[in-house]
Chains A and B, each alone.
Chain A
Amino acid sequence: MLHSKKVRSGVTNIGCPLLFGAALVASWQTGLLHKILKTDEYILPYPMRIIDIMKENSDKIMLNVNASVKVALIGLLLGSVLGYLIAIIATVFPKYGSGGLTIVSAFNAIPIVALAPVFINWTKDVSDIAEERSMAAKILVVTVTSMAAMSVNAYRGLTELPPFSEDLMKTYAAGRLTEFFKLRFPNSVPYIFTALRVSVPGSVIGALVSEYFAEYIIGVGRQIRENILIAQYATAWAYIVTACIIGIVMYAILMLAESIILKACLHRT
């Protein structure tokens, strides 16, 4: 009963979504989608046209991709490290720490669109060069948005330990540092990935939105906005597709890293 299913499930796993995607693109290219959505090929250009624009402007697109990815990655890194540090502080001082975590997670509820202009004003004096201070503002937005997810998850990873493991460490008379590196840190690794799964897409979106307001004009998000404002929908779509690809690639890399690292962790124990 099972053996034939295995082969079949492999086929359906890839086949079904592919088929669906192909059907979607086909209905898009043939104009069926336009009829369903009651729109025109101006607002929703054909896929081939979008791809053409992407090909024609690959250099310019890559320039903007670089800028956006840089913001997303640096912000993600800073936010995650900061978030993890906050989680550590919260673990060391559980009484005040968890209260602080509640406050940090509340940042999640503030719309980034509101944060972006605030941060641009805050970072005005970071540098005389507009490109640098814009960068700082954008990174700050991404940092704040990815910090919350990391601190909450990492705190769980640092405190929700296997039963008796803490006691075991005590019987070894292990110091706090040993306890951290031998027990708490390894325990928190899967939680780090849980946080990253939320914050990686979040960092991309944070980068795109913060570009809207930045002083220095660069980035995929900014291009989407500029092109829509001058009514260049086909070009805007090219950048939207680019943004999707950035998100997908970053997520795929994360998944790959997760599977490799978690496997390595499993082998070790």
Chain B
Amino acid sequence: MKNLRKTMAFIAAMTMLTGAFASCGSSENSSEAGKSTVSESSSSSGQTAEMSDSDRIVAAAQAGKVGNWGLGNEYEILALLTKYGQKTEYLSQAFDMDGFDDDSITLASAMTYNELGLVKNDYEGGYGYGDTVGIIDMNNEGVAMLEDNLFCTKEFAEKNPNTVKAFISASMKGWEYACENPEEAAQIVFEAGSSVSSDHQAYMASEVKKLVETDTKGNTVNEYGKMDEEAMQQTLDLAKEYISLDDSTAASKLQTLTLDDIRDTSYWEDASADDFGDPEKTSVSVQLKWLPQCQFMGYYVAKAKGYYDEVGLDVDIVSGGGDIGETTAVNNSTVDFGVTWVSNLISADAGGMDLLEIAQVYQRSGLVLVYKK
């Protein structure tokens, strides 16, 4: 009898628990409504398409639904928000586009070569929005900051000038080949251990090609890795304005930085002219900014095609994607070279590191804000 009572009570308790869970679930029903608005808004695209980009930015900013990943990727967004007189606040966007998909972010950050592809296409991992989404391009808005470059420490560059030049030369050769043969490059990256699906990899290669061969104004660039003075200066100016550092020493150093403090064009110039001797250090490593994918296809191609071997270098490509910035990894000699965004390099130098950009791979910003039409 007693046992029976106990069992009954137990079942009752469990039912209550399950009930609690269920009610917890029912609160999620609100999003079902959210889902239906997704289809509504996409079906009534004709009506909202009249909205101008500036209206979109203002509306999203005031609703607090502009997204960015932060962590040093946000300065262009801050500049854009300032341009339209909005508060410089944004939502921390996850590395997937779920927030965009479920409308918790209406103006989401996306790299043309990565997230934008996932949003538009319907291959694995994609959301399949196709042409129902539109973009706001940072280059067109005049707030573009340069992204992927090659850098090392000043000390390393001074000690191993020939290694640096050889590395630039071979890497740029890799980029050239990759941009000429994006599909083959995508295959090379996939075989090098990338876990990005091959469809997406191919998309990425074609988009990265555009960034490497077009400048911020839309002109074609033929010299791979060239450091465009004007774009660099714009990046530095925006960085000074929007990188906010709590450390007053670093903040004041940031304001004093000039282009000469952060980049040295001579290595690239010599590399382009094939004017360098035997490398001082033959075994080097390069730290990528992110996970292995076509964003970095030039280096993978240079390695696979033997360009590094040709200049007498044995190169180890270290993938990124963790919390340790590539700037730190290069600064403490964990690796010799790094790929980072110019803004990250600027804040690192302001913080007291002695890093030097030696080549600028991406000639324009790949960051866009994507919205549902």
Contacts and interface: CB of A to CB of B under 8 A. Distances in A.
The answer to whether A and B interact is yes
A230 B347 contact: yes
Contacts of A258: none
A64 to B, nearest CB: 11
Interface string B77-95: 0000000000000011110
Given A43-B332, A56-B248, 16 more contacts: A42-B331, A93-B9, A93-B10, A124-B98, A125-B30, A125-B31, A129-B64, A217-B70, A229-B325, A231-B331, A231-B344, A231-B353, A232-B250, A232-B351, A233-B351, A238-B247
B92 A125 contact: no
Interface residues of B, number: 41
A231 B248 contact: no
A235 interface: yes
B94 A215 contact: yes
Interface in A79-101: 89, 92-93, 96
Contact of B347 (A126, A217, A232, A234): A232
Given A225-B323, A231-B328, A124 B102 contact: yes
A152 B347 CA distance: 47
A228 B323 contact: yes
B107 to A, nearest CB: 13
A228 B351 CA distance: 10
A53 interface: yes
A216 interface: yes
In the A-B complex, list the 4 residue pairs whose CB atoms are closest, starting with the nearest.
A231-B348, A125-B31, A125-B28, A230-B347
The A interface is mostly helix, strand or loop, or mixed, namely helix
A130 interface: yes
Contacts of B248: 52-53, 56
A214 interface: yes
Contacts of B31: 124-125
* Residue among A42, A121, A231, A234 with the highest chain B CB neighbour number at 10 A: A231
A56 B10 contact: no
A235 B246 contact: yes
Nearest to A238: B246
B340 to A, nearest CB: 10
A60 interface: yes
Contacts of A134: 92
Given A42-B353, A49-B249, A217-B70, A231 B91 contact: no
B243 A230 contact: yes
A233 B10 CA distance: 54
Contacts of B72: 226, 229-230
A53 B102 contact: no
Interface string A191-235: 000000000000000000000011111000000011111111111
* Residue among B6, B247, B328 with the highest chain A CB neighbour number at 10 A: B247
Given A42-B352, A229-B325, A234-B250, A217 B30 contact: no
B219 interface: no
27 contacts: A42-B331, A42-B351, A43-B328, A43-B332, A49-B249, A53-B247, A53-B248, A93-B9, A93-B13, A125-B27, A126-B27, A225-B323, A226-B70, A228-B328, A229-B325, A230-B72, A230-B344, A230-B348, A231-B328, A231-B353, A232-B245, A232-B347, A234-B247, A235-B246, A235-B250, A238-B246, A238-B247
B145 to A, nearest CB: 14
